[in-house]
Structure 1
Amino acid sequence: MNDRIRTLHALEQEMGILMRRVRRALSERAALVHPSLQPSSYVMLAHLIEAGPRRSADIAEAFDLDKGAVSRQVQHLVELGLVERTPDPADGRATILTATTEAKDRVDQVSRLRIEQLDERLAEWTAEDLDELVSRFSRYNATLDER
């Protein structure tokens, strides 16, 4: 096995570790927002907060998910009081989903806590180290997005 292949295997292993950490972090964040919130619904809620009010179809497209799966998660978010539905003024058959103020406040609080934790854990990293990591992750993601 040549060095490049060995390095690519190492990259795959590190990405696997990262994905397990991300799953755990999402579970923790979701529970902090609401004890009954599922991690996948947390991701959807965070997207809705960042992107602004959306139709379910827009969320399904953004996450490349089946509309039925999105509908079930949206219903769960509505039941938890984290998302509100309002009629779409452009299409009476559709609804617009909006994160509640409470949801925005809770997600913001969780985000601030996570940034504080990251800052603490990465205290020995220089600004240049962090910039380089972000730059390389950005390049990696952009390359994988190319089709």
Structure 2
Amino acid sequence: MQPSLETIELELAVLIRRVSLITTCCKFGNLDRSAYLLLHQIISHGSAGVKTLANESHLDISTISRQAAALEQKGYVYRIPDPLDGRACSFLVTDLGLKEYNNHRQARLTKIADNLEDWSEEECRMFGQLLRKYNLSIINK
């Protein structure tokens, strides 16, 4: 096995542990990771139904349905009935959901900026590109 693969394997394990530790110790508000990512999808792409959200997030429909229902219960999203299919609906973010998302996002950005304060802009740019490339390689296999 290539030494670089061994380094990547170990560093990914350490990263996952440390991100979990930060998430546990430094809660950024009322959003867990799944809620944050689902709100991000809806905010970024506009209203969407459960099937579309499931496809975009590479999760099953029942998982997204539960997550969307939890967001709706908290008042972060609301349903819009589909005029063509009475059984289907789309979700839109409420003002409260947008506020919670933005607060959570700002707290995350502040923490990341603190962790990367000694990095150059070029190192940050490259790290972001490589993380995106790695994340895309996971879902494209």
Which band: TM-score by shorter chain? 0.7 to 0.9
Q: Give the TM-score, by structure 2 length.
A: 0.81
Q: Select which of 4, 10, 14 maps to 2:11.
A: 14
Aligned equivalent of 1:69: 63
Match of 2:88, SS?
Answer: strand
Task: Give structure 2 stretches of 5+ with no counterpart.
Answer: none
Aligned equivalent of 1:116: 110
Q: Give the TM-score, by structure 1 length.
A: 0.78
Match of 1:92, SS?
Answer: coil
Contact conserved, 1:54 with 1:98, CA < 8 A, in 2? yes
Aligned length in residues: 139
Q: Select which of 34, 40, 50 maps to 1:46.
A: 40
Aligned equivalent of 1:102: 96
| Structure 2 residue 132 is matched with structure 1 residue 138 | yes
Task: Give structure 1 stretches of 5+ with no counterpart.
Answer: none
Deviation at 1:48, TM superposition (A): 1.8
Provide the rounded CA distance (Å) in 1 between the counterparts of 2:117 and 2:89.
Answer: 45
Paired residue type of 1:17: V
Distance 1:24 1:45, change over 3 A: farther
Deviation at 1:144, TM superposition (A): 4.4
Distance 1:125 1:143, change over 3 A: same
Paired residue type of 1:14: E
Q: Percent identity?
A: 27
By relative contact order (CA 8 Å, sep 6+), the higher-ranking structure is: 2
Paired residue type of 2:92: T
Deviation at 1:123, TM superposition (A): 1.6
The Cα offsets for residues 13-42 of structure 1, whole Å up to 9 and x where unpaired, read as: 11122223444555633xx0x2xx543233
Paired residue type of 2:35: S
